[in-house]
């Protein structure tokens, strides 16, 4: 049988064990709350980046200010991409439905931002290429026999930029069509009123497709010129 001293030591050890187990459980609960708050912050930040992009006019392409604007767009995309990678890295510590909803939203936001930046970049270089080719066309009688070769080279580069511009813009428009579903999926995790809504995505989609039409008219006008 245990003597009084041994009983006291055993009770004290049991009490310490209970405290440790309780504190460990509390720590795990606290850790999950912190992780949930972090994921929520990532989603909200992604929404803020989308709002800044979708709610603003694309700006005038072909200007000296455009490269700096493109760097900002690239930085927005990279931030969301990093957060999505971090979510994937710690996904096992969070409830599956939380991870799935945040994952879908961050992927959608990341790809919209990536395609928006690519679309605007190709739009810029298409506009610059158009302007420079028109200038070259106007110089046909001032330059030497290499004029036609240079005109063809410029035209090929321009067609390539326009092709990429159209493809990236149409791909972005398709993603914007599905944005409302991603937003609805993540809404139970946070206050979705701070995220861009369906009307903003729809307006951005319409605007981007209208820009394709305008640039296509310019390209068609150039294509109708005689080759020689």
The reported pLDDT for the residue numbered 21 is 42
* pLDDT per residue as tens, the chain (228 positions): 545 655 455 445 545 444 444 455 444 544 666 677 888 999 999 999 999 999 876 666 778 888 999 999 999 999 999 999 999 888 666 778 888 889 999 999 999 999 999 999 999 999 999 999 988 887 766 666 778 888 889 999 999 999 999 999 999 999 999 999 999 999 888 888 889 999 999 999 999 999 999 999 999 988 887 655
The reported pLDDT for the residue numbered 151 is 85
Establish if 51 belongs to a structural domain. Answer: yes
Establish if 228 belongs to a structural domain. Answer: no
Of 162, 173, 187, the closest CA to residue 54 belongs to 173
Cα–Cα distance measured from residue 185 to residue 198, given in angstroms and rounded to the nearest whole number? 13
Contacts of 172 (CB under 8 A, 6+ apart): 112, 115, 116, 119, 205, 208
The reported pLDDT for the residue numbered 107 is 96
Determine the Cα angle at 80 with ends 78 and 85, to 5°.
95
Q: Within a 10 A sphere around the Cβ of 49, how many other Cβ atoms? A: 21
The reported pLDDT for the residue numbered 79 is 96
Burial 59-82 (b: 16+ CB within 10 A, else e): eebeeeebeebbeebeebbebbbe
Q: Within a 10 A sphere around the Cβ of 156, how many other Cβ atoms? A: 9
The domain containing residue 81 runs over which residues?
Answer: 4-223
Establish if 133 belongs to a structural domain. Answer: yes
Q: What would you report as the CA-atom Rg of the chain, rounded to the nearest whole angstrom?
A: 28
Per the structure, the count of domains in the chain is 1
Establish if 125 belongs to a structural domain. Answer: yes
């Amino acid at each position: 049988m245990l003597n009084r001293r041994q009983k006291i030591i055993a009770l004290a050890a049991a009490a310490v064990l209970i405290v440790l187990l309780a504190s460990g459980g509390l720590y795990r609960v606290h850790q999950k709350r912190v992780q949930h708050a972090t994921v929520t912050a990532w989603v909200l930040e992604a929404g803020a980046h989308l709002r800044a992009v979708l709610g603003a006019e694309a700006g005038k392409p072909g200007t000296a200010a455009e490269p700096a604007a493109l760097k900002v767009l690239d930085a927005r995309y990279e931030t969301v991409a990093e957060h999505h990678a971090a979510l994937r890295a710690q996904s096992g510590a969070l409830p599956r439905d939380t991870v799935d909803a945040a994952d879908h939203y961050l992927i959608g936001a990341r790809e919209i931002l990536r395609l928006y930046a690519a679309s605007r970049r190709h739009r810029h270089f298409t506009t610059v290429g158009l302007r420079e080719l028109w200038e070259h066309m106007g110089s046909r009688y001032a330059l030497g026999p290499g004029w036609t070769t240079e005109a063809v080279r410029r035209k090929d580069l321009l067609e390539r930029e326009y092709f990429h511009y159209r493809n990236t813009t149409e791909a972005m428009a398709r993603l914007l069509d599905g944005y409302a579903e991603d937003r609805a999926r993540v809404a139970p995790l946070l206050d979705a009123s701070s995220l861009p809504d369906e009307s903003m995505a729809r307006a951005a989609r319409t605007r981007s497709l209208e820009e394709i039409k305008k640039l296509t008219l310019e390209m068609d006008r150039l294509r109708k010129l005689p080759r020689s």
